[in-house]
Structure 1
Amino acid sequence: MRASEHFTVAVIGASGLLGRAIAGELASAPGAKQWRIVRTAHSRADAHSVKLDLLDRDAVSAFFREFAPDAIVVAAAERRPDVCENDPAHARALNVDALRVIASEARSLGAWVLSISTDYVFDGTAPPYFPDDAPAPLNAYGQSKLDGERALLESDPASCVLRLPLLYGPFTGWNESAVTSLTPAIVESADPARPPASMDAWATRYPTFTPDVAVVIRGMLEHHAKGATISGITQWSGDEPMTKFDIAQRIARTLNVDAKLVAQRTPTDTTPRPRDCHLDSGRLEALGIGRRTPFDSAIATLLANYPDMPDQ
């Protein structure tokens, strides 16, 4: 990229939990003046984003013709396992078919695609998982994301998949993350008139801070911009193992509430979920890419910034 040129990055799904962090990091990064960031959103489009329905192929084609991005980060997906299980056709339309269309449009422009995937492509029986380990998803969500990975890489082997685990970060509502969604029940359980809150203590998770993921993605984009494109499967993960019960205890300590928590040691979800899908991050670490914020400091920052919490 010549110094006088702008490198255009389309962030697909920029209104979501991860998309906001990516767009914000790219806009504020050193040398950001050379980056042109085009944000897309669907139901939450605003003056700072382009409204785009990924299920409308003509709209997707028109978007790429208008903005001609050099790189595309796909952070939009149907990520709710229960929704995917109940409506696999919808999950496939967004997580597979739309990604195939994006890959086709990108290929016609010579643009690089970085698509976000999940640790749920694995069955959680033999961690840690490396990028070339055989996937074995347990549910429709994991299968749809795996099929999306394959659709992208078959369309253009130079494109890239970034698998991530449980995400949390600056949020607009408690339910944006399975981490912050625990908070209301934690706070309510401290009320003597309310029953204890039951929290899963069976599955091990690796909560990963979205601003850290955004730094990882910026590093990957910088590699591409200088001609050192990263392709194939990559992975990034926080390195602190914890169950939702452990997470809830840490949130309770952060809020200084005397929460009444009960450890649920057998799975209760109607949708099957893997027990431990720890992702090995060595490929990106070897390139000097990565950042990990300790969970306790990250969650304290998040909760301190949101005074409109439930009554304690």
Structure 2
Amino acid sequence: MFTVAIIGASGLLGRAVIDELAREHDWRVIPTAFRRTAAHMISLDIRDAGAVAQFVEREAPDAIVIAAAERRPDVCELEPLQARALNVDAVRTVATAANRVGAWTLSISTDYVFDGTRPPYRCDDSPSPINAYGRSKEEGERALLDTARKGCVLRLPLLYGPIVDWQESAVTSLVPAIAASADAASAVMDAWAIRYPTYTPDVAFVIKQLLTRHSRGEGICGIAQWSGDEPMTKHDIAVRLADALQLNANLIRQTTPVDSTPRPRDCHLDSSRLESLGIGRRTSFDVAIRQILTKFPWNRDIET
């Protein structure tokens, strides 16, 4: 029986991974969560080294996927120690525990480890983060690679997918403003930074492919990257959301960034390492966003 522990199983990506792995009937999947622990999940705070060591020793997984992180750039900027505890120290803690049972560890990182000036970025390009979030994730990458005897970092860009609330993704977080603009003032969206929205069920499929290779003794180590292939500014995303919502996209105006936290211009990740191995799947944004909105109607829980 191949056993996989999913750290952060209640989050946006973690739920997609659990759903994908549920199709593998001969695998044992152990989901953990901290703040939103469901009945079938184990409560685990990965900042607690003792609790992590006990969990890993007890369950003895063959592989561990770390999908938990502090991913909000503004929070990382304001509370760098909190970000480091989750994005760096906890990664090292999990990797250390994984070594004791011989588990392969997959840690999720971000395109924000790059400064966005020279895309596309390959796996072996030198990181150059420009904000606290990117710096914490770069340190987390080093923590994983320096600690784990069998470990892989998977860098991902902006994620979106099935949600439990609009704010779970920077993509769906735009919906309330777009919906409000249908009745009132225009929505104003950044048209400067270029992102590559990537669908969490596709990422979950990639992670399953990586786990499958490891289960066959062909585990991938080092750094890998996966990304959607449709470049969009926040304004572009908002327009396509408005089309999907059948709202007036002409009410959405363009602007330049006003965020206090610096963000890179274009951190397009080169996915060729995984593509060369036959790993990957991409769902078009327009198809994916309609799947999300079918399950989570646009007028749900929105105050206008």
What is the TM-score normalised by the length of structure 1?
0.95
Aligned match for 2:217, one of 227, 249, 259 = 227
1:25 aligned partner: 20
Is the contact between residue 153 and residue 223 of structure 2 (CA under 8 Å) also seen in structure 1? Answer: yes
- For 1:11, the aligned partner's letter is I
In 2, Cα distance between equivalents of 1:111 and 1:146: 22
Moved beyond 2 Å, runs of 4+: 307-312
How far the C-alpha of 1:61 sits from its partner, in A, is 1.1
How far the C-alpha of 1:158 sits from its partner, in A, is 2.9
- For 2:152, the aligned partner's letter is C
How far the C-alpha of 1:157 sits from its partner, in A, is 5.0
1:3 aligned partner: none
- For 1:204, the aligned partner's letter is I
Matches within 5 A, 1:1-312: 6-28=1-23, 32-191=24-183, 194-259=184-249, 260-264=251-255, 266-307=256-297, 308-309=299-300, 310=302
Q: Deviations over 1:205-249 (max 9, x none)?
A: 000000000000000000000001100000000000000100000
In 2, Cα distance between equivalents of 1:60 and 1:157: 17
Q: Structure 1: 5+ residue runs without aligned partners? A: 1-5
**3-state SS of 1:33 partner:** coil
How far the C-alpha of 1:311 sits from its partner, in A, is 7.2
- For 2:204, the aligned partner's letter is A
- For 1:105, the aligned partner's letter is A
Structure 1 pair 201/223, CA: closer, same or farther in 2 (3 Å)?
A: same
In 2, Cα distance between equivalents of 1:213 and 1:117: 12
Is the contact between residue 157 and residue 231 of structure 1 (CA under 8 Å) also seen in structure 2? Answer: no
**3-state SS of 1:24 partner:** helix
In 2, Cα distance between equivalents of 1:25 and 1:226: 18
C-alpha root-mean-square deviation of aligned residues, in Å?
A: 1.1
Is the contact between residue 187 and residue 311 of structure 1 (CA under 8 Å) also seen in structure 2? Answer: no
What is the TM-score normalised by the length of structure 2?
0.97
